[in-house]
Amino acid sequence: MHTQNTVDLSPKSLDFRGRIYIMMGSAAICFLLVISGYWSLQVRQKERYEKLGEQYRIKTKPITSSRGFIYDRNGSLIAQNRPTYNLAVLRDEMEDPWSELRPQLALFLGETEALLDERFAKAKDQPISQPVILQENISFKESLRARRNLRRFPGLHIDTTERRFYVNGHLFTHVLGHLGESTKQELKRNPKLKLGEMVGKTGVERAYDGALTGVDGVWEIHIDNKGIYRKKEVKTPPQPGKNLYLTLDLELQQLAYDSLAGRSGSVVMMEIKTGEILVYLSSPSFDLNLFTERFSTRRWNELNNSSKNPFLNRPVKGVYAPGSVFKLVTALAALKYNKITPMTRYFCNGSLTMNDYTARCHAAAGHGSVDLEQAIRHSCNVFFYNVALDLDIDQLASVATELGFGNKSGVDLIGESKGLVPTRDWKRARYNKMWYPGETLSVVIGQGALLVTPVQLVVFMATVADDGRIPTPHFMSKYGKNANYDYFDHQPRRIDGIPEEYYDILKSGMWQVVNHARGTGTAAAVKDYDVCGKTGTAQLINFDSDSDTKDKAFLNAFFAGFAPRYKPEVAIMVLVEQAGAGGQEAAPIAGRLFTNYRQRFHKLEEP
Amino acid sequence: MRRFKFIDKSHMIVVLLLGIIGIVLIRSTSLGTATSSIYWKKQCFWIVAGTVIYLVMSAYDYKKLISKANIFYIIGLVSLVAVLYTRPINGATSWFRLPFMSIQPSEVVKIATILMVVRFYKKADERRTSLRDFLLSAVLIGMPVALIAKQSDLGTAFLYLPFFVIPNFLIGNKESIYVTVGGLVVVVLLVLGLVHKPDWFFFVKPYQRARIVSYIYPDKDTANRGWQVHQSKISIGQGGLLGQGLGKGKQTKMGFLPAQQTDFILAVAGEELGFVGMSTIFGLFIFLFWRSFQIALESRDMGGSMLVVLVIGTLLVQLLFNAGMMIGLVPTTGIPCPLISYGGSSMMTTMALLGLIQSVHNDRYVNT
- Mean pLDDT value of segment B165-188: 80
Residue A200's pLDDT band, with cuts at 50, 70 and 90, is confident
- Mean pLDDT within B17-43: 85
Closest residue in A to B319 (Cα) is: A31
Q: How confident is the model at residue B359 (pLDDT cuts 50, 70, 90)?
A: very high
Mean pLDDT of B57-62: 89
The per-residue pLDDT for range A208-264, each reduced to its tens digit, is 888 888 888 888 887 776 666 667 788 889 888 888 889 999 999 999 999 999 899
User: At residue A142, does pLDDT exceed 70?
Assistant: yes
pLDDT of residue A602: 77
> Would you place residue A5 in the very low, low, confident or very high pLDDT band (cuts 50, 70, 90)?
very low
CA dist A4 and A127 (Å) reads: 79
Cα distances (angstroms) measured from residue A260 to each of A23, A279, A283: 103, 13, 7
Q: Is A51 touching B (CB cutoff 8 A)?
A: no
Give me the pLDDT at residue B115, please: 93
Q: What percent of chain B has pLDDT over 70?
A: 88
Do the beta carbons of residue A303 and residue A286 sit within 8 Å? yes
Compute the average pLDDT of residues A266-270.
96
DSSP A334-390: HHHTTS--TT--EEESSEEEETTEEEE-SSTT--EEE-HHHHHHHT-HHHHHHHHHH
For chain B, the C-alpha Rg in angstroms (whole number) is 21
What pLDDT, on the 0 to 100 scale, is given for residue B219?
59
Helix (H) or strand (E) holding A508: helix A500-515
Sorted by sequence, the CB contacts under 8 Å of residue A284 that are 6+ apart come out as: A262, A263, A264, A306, A308, A310
Taking Cα atoms as reference points, which of A489, A483, A571, A593 lies closest to residue A245? A483
Please tell me which residue, A251 or B97, carries the higher pLDDT value: A251
Q: Does B162 touch chain A (CB under 8 A)?
A: no
Cα(B33)–Cα(A162) distance, rounded to whole angstroms? 37
Q: Find which of B251, B300, B325, B357 to mutate to test the A interface (most A CBs within 10 Å of its CB).
A: B251
User: What is the reported pLDDT for B296?
Assistant: 92
The answer to whether residue A547 scores a pLDDT higher than 50 is no
Q: Taking a C-beta distance cutoff of 8 angstroms, is the pair A399, A332 a contact?
A: yes
The three-state DSSP-derived secondary structure of chain B is CHHHHHCCHHHHHHHHHHHHHHHHHHHHHHCCCCCCCHHHHHHHHHHHHHHHHHHHHHHCCHHHHHHCHHHHHHHHHHHHHHHCCCCCECCECCCEECCCCEECHHHHHHHHHHHHHHHHHHHHHHCCCCHHHHHHHHHHHHHHHHHHHHCCCHHHHHCCHHHHHHHHHHCCCHHHHHHHHHHHHHHHHHHHHHHHCHHHHCCCCHHHHHHHHHHHCHHHHCCCCHHHHHHHHHHHHHHCCCCCCCCCCHHHHCCCCCCCCCCCHHHHHHHHHHHHHHHHHHHHHHHHHHHHHHHHHHCCCHHHHHHHHHHHHHHHHHHHHHHHHHCCCCCCCCCCCCCCCCCHHHHHHHHHHHHHHHHHHHHHHHCC
Which residue among A27, A46, A56 places its CB closest to the CB of B289? A27
Mean pLDDT is highest, among A194-203, A257-266, A539-548, for A257-266
**Residue A266 clears pLDDT 90, i.e. is over it:** yes
Most confident of A180-184, B85-89, B145-149, B312-316: B312-316
pLDDT band at B313 (very low <50, low <70, confident <90, very high): very high
Does any CB of chain B come closer than 8 Å to the CB of residue A222? yes
Interface test with B, best of A14, A23, A225 (most B CBs within 10 A): A23
Reply yes or no on whether the pLDDT at A555 is more than 90.
no
Which pLDDT score is estimated for B266? 92
The Cα angle at residue A94 between residues A88 and A97, in degrees rounded to 5: 110
d(CA A130, CA A197): 11
Q: Up-side HSE of residue A597: CA atoms within 13 Å toward CB?
A: 30
pLDDT at residue A118 is higher than 60:
yes
| Among A119-128, B258-267, B287-296, the least confident range | A119-128
| Longest Cα separation, chain A | 156
Contacts 24+ apart (CB under 8 A), B165-169: B165/B313, B166/A23, B166/B306, B166/B309, B166/B310, B166/B313, B167/B117, B167/B118, B167/B120, B167/B121, B167/B137, B167/B306, B167/B310, B168/B129, B168/B133, B168/B134, B168/B137, B169/A19, B169/A23
Q: Residue B220: which pLDDT band, with cuts at 50, 70 and 90?
A: low
- Can you give the pLDDT at residue A568? 93
B165: left (phi over 0), alpha (psi -120 to 50) or beta: alpha
Is the model's pLDDT at B253 over the cut of 80?
A: no
Q: Do A19 and B254 touch (CB under 8 A)?
A: no
Average pLDDT over residues B281-307: 92
- Partner-chain contact B329 A33, CB within 8 Å: yes
Residues of B in contact with A16 (CB under 8 A): 170-171, 302, 305
- Give, in degrees to the nearest 5, the angle at Cα A296 between A293 and A301: 125
Question: Three-state SS for A44?
Answer: helix
Say which amino acid occupies A157: H
Q: Could you tell me whether strands A58-63 and A217-223 are parallel, antiparallel, or unpaired per DSSP bridges?
A: antiparallel
H/E element, A236: strand A229-236
Of A387, A381, A388, give the one whose Cα is nearest residue A435.
A388
The Cα–Cα gap between A86 and A88 comes to 6
Q: Report pLDDT for B274.
A: 92
**A493 pLDDT more than 90:** no
B54 neighbors B352 (Cβ within 8 angstroms) = yes
pLDDT at A346 over 80: yes
Above 90 in pLDDT, residue B190? Answer: no
Q: Report the first-to-last Cα separation within chain B, whole angstroms.
A: 16
Mean pLDDT, chain A, rounded, equals 85
Residues of A in contact with B234 (CB under 8 A): 49, 52-53, 56
Question: Is the confidence at residue A418, as pLDDT, over 90?
Answer: yes
CB A559 within 8 A of CB A534: yes
Residues B6, B121: Cα–Cα separation, whole Å? 27
pLDDT for residue A112 is more than 60: yes
DSSP of A401-419, one letter per residue? HHTTTTS----SSTT----
Which residues are CB-contacts of A102 (< 8 A; sequence separation ≥ 6)?
Answer: A113, A116, A117, A120
CA neighbor of B188 nearest in space, from B57, B48, B330: B330
The whole-number pLDDT of residue A545 equals 47
Does A585 score more than 50 pLDDT? yes
Query: Is the CB of A48 less than 8 angstroms away from the CB of B170?
Result: no
The reply to whether omega before A62 is within 30° of 0 (cis) is no
CA dist B358 and A71 (Å) reads: 89
Higher pLDDT, A386 or A364: A386
**Phi/psi at A556 (5° precision):** -95, 130
d(CA B37, CA B299): 43
pLDDT band at B300 (very low <50, low <70, confident <90, very high): confident
Query: A217: number of CA atoms within 13 Å, CB side?
Result: 15
At A526, give phi and psi (nearest 5°): -130, 135
Please state the rounded mean pLDDT for residues A276-290.
Answer: 91
Residue B8 burial (C-beta neighbours within 10 Å; 0-12, 13-18, 19+): middle
pLDDT of residue A546: 45
Q: Mean of the pLDDT values across residues A30-51? A: 91
Question: What is the pLDDT averaged over residues A373-400?
Answer: 91
Instruction: Check if the beta carbon of residue A464 is closer than 8 Å to that of residue A328.
Output: yes
Report helix angle A14-39 to B161-170, nearest 10.
Answer: 140
Q: What is the model's pLDDT at position A332?
A: 93
Mean pLDDT of B99-126: 83
Q: Which residue has the higher pLDDT, A285 or B221?
A: A285
Beta strand pairing call for A244-245 and A70-71: parallel
Question: CA torsion B294→B299→B304→B307, rounded to 10°?
Answer: 10
* A29 near B CB under 8 A: no
Instruction: Check pLDDT > 90 for residue B318.
Output: yes
Rounded Cα–Cα distance for residues A31 and A33 (Å) = 5
What was the pLDDT predicted at A350? 84
Q: Using CB atoms within 10 A of its CB, is residue B160 exposed (0-12), middle (13-18) or buried (19+)?
A: buried
pLDDT (tens digit per residue) in B197-219: 777 777 767 766 666 676 666 55
Distance of CA B17 to the CA centre of its chain: 18
pLDDT band at A6 (very low <50, low <70, confident <90, very high): very low
CB of A353 within 8 Å of a chain B CB? The answer is no
Q: How far apart are CA A474 and CA A477, in angstroms?
A: 7
Residue B90 backbone phi and psi in degrees, to 5? 50, 40
Specify the higher pLDDT residue, A566 or A487: A566
Higher pLDDT, A306 or A268: A268
Is B309 in CB contact (< 8 Å) with chain A?
yes
Q: Return the higher-pLDDT residue of A479 and A501.
A: A501
Give all strands (DSSP E) within A439-590, no chain letters. 469-470, 493-494, 532-539, 555-563, 570-576
**Residue B33 banded pLDDT, cuts 50, 70, 90:** low
Residue A27 to residue B240, Cβ atoms within 8 A: no
**What is the interface pTM, i.e. ipTM, of the complex?**
0.90
What pLDDT shows up at residue A2? 38
Q: Give the integer Cα–Cα distance in Å for B221 and B227.
A: 7
φ, ψ for residue A498, nearest 5 deg? -120, 110
* A231 Cα to chain B: minimum distance (Å): 11
Q: Tell me: pLDDT of A179 over 90.
A: no
Count CB atoms within 10 A of the CB of residue A37.
17
Helix A327-336 × helix A454-465 angle, to 10°: 50
Window B:90-149, CB contacts with A under 8 Å: 125, 127-129
Q: Please say whether the dihedral angle defined by the alpha carbons of residues A30, A32, A36 and A42, taken in this order, is positive or negative.
A: positive
